[in-house]
Structure 1
Amino acid sequence: MPSAALAFKPTPMKDVLCIGSVLWDVIGRASAVMRVGSDVPGRITRIPGGVAMNIAMTLRRFGVRPVLLTAIGRDEEGDELITAAARLGMETGYVYRSEDLPTDVYMAIEGANGLIAAIADAHSLEAADAKILTPLRDGRLGSAAAPYAGQIALDGNLTEELLRDIAQSPLFANADLRVAPASPGKAKRLMPLLDSANATIYVNLEEAGLLCNAMFETAPEAAAALLQRGAASILVTDGGRAAAHAGASGVLTATPPEVLVTRVTGAGDTFMAAHMAAEARGDAPDVALNAALRAAAVYVSGDVPS
Structure 2
Amino acid sequence: MNAPSKTPEILTIGSVLWDVIGRAASHMRMGSDVPGRITRLPGGVAMNIAMTLTRFGQTPALLTAIGEDSQGSELMESARQLGINTDYVYRSADLPTDRYMAIEGANGLIAAIADAHSLEAAGDKILRPLSDGRLGSMESPYTGSIALDGNLTRTLLENIATSALFAQADLRVAPASPGKADRLHPFLNHTRATLYVNLEEAGLLCQHSFDTAELAAKGLLARGARRVLVTDGGKQACDGSAEGLVTACPPEVLVTRVTGAGDTFMAAHIVRESRGAPREDALKAALQAAAIYVSGGTPL
* 1:89 Cα deviation after fit: 0.5
* 1:195 Cα deviation after fit: 1.1
> Following superposition of structure 1 onto structure 2, how do residues 75-154 of structure 1 map, counting pairs within 5 Å?
75-154=69-148
* 1:14 Cα deviation after fit: 6.1
Q: Is 2:227 the counterpart of 1:233?
A: yes
> In structure 2, which of residues 255, 263, 266 is the aligned counterpart of residue 269 of structure 1?
263
Residue pair 2:8, 2:60 contacting (<8 A) in 1 also: no
Which residue of the partner structure matches residue 29 of structure 1? 23
Which residue of the partner structure matches residue 61 of structure 2? 67
Residue pair 2:158, 2:186 contacting (<8 A) in 1 also: yes
Which residue of the partner structure matches residue 188 of structure 1? 182
Which residue of the partner structure matches residue 9 of structure 1? none
Distance (Å, rounded) in 1 between the aligned partners of 2:65 and 2:290: 27
Which residue of the partner structure matches residue 302 of structure 1? 296
Counterpart secondary structure, 1:47: strand
Residue pair 2:131, 2:138 contacting (<8 A) in 1 also: yes
Distance (Å, rounded) in 2 between the aligned partners of 1:277 and 1:15: 10
Query: TM-score normalised to the size of structure 1?
Result: 0.95
Which residue of the partner structure matches residue 236 of structure 2? 242
Distance (Å, rounded) in 2 between the aligned partners of 1:288 and 1:197: 21
Q: Is 2:294 the counterpart of 1:289?
A: no
Which residue of the partner structure matches residue 4 of structure 2? none
> In structure 1, which of residues 178, 185, 191 is the aligned counterpart of residue 172 of structure 2?
178
Which residue of the partner structure matches residue 280 of structure 1? 274
Distance (Å, rounded) in 2 between the aligned partners of 1:181 and 1:299: 20
Distance (Å, rounded) in 1 between the aligned partners of 2:43 and 2:8: 23
Counterpart secondary structure, 2:135: coil
Q: Whose RCO is larger (CA < 8 A, sep 6+)?
A: 1
Aligned AA for 1:58?
T
Counterpart secondary structure, 1:303: coil
Q: CA RMSD in A?
A: 1.0
Aligned AA for 2:188?
L
Which residue of the partner structure matches residue 217 of structure 1? 211
- Percent of aligned pairs sharing the same letter: 70
Aligned AA for 1:288?
A
Q: Is 2:47 the counterpart of 1:53?
A: yes
Which residue of the partner structure matches residue 202 of structure 1? 196
Distance (Å, rounded) in 2 between the aligned partners of 1:15 and 1:253: 28
* 1:248 Cα deviation after fit: 2.0
Residue pair 2:8, 2:85 contacting (<8 A) in 1 also: no
Query: TM-score normalised to the size of structure 2?
Result: 0.97
Residue pair 2:18, 2:43 contacting (<8 A) in 1 also: yes
Query: Which of structure 1's runs of 4+ aligned residues deviate more than 6 A?
Result: none
Counterpart secondary structure, 2:148: strand
Instruction: Rate the CA distance shift 1:136–1:14 in 2: closer, same or farther, 3 A.
Output: closer
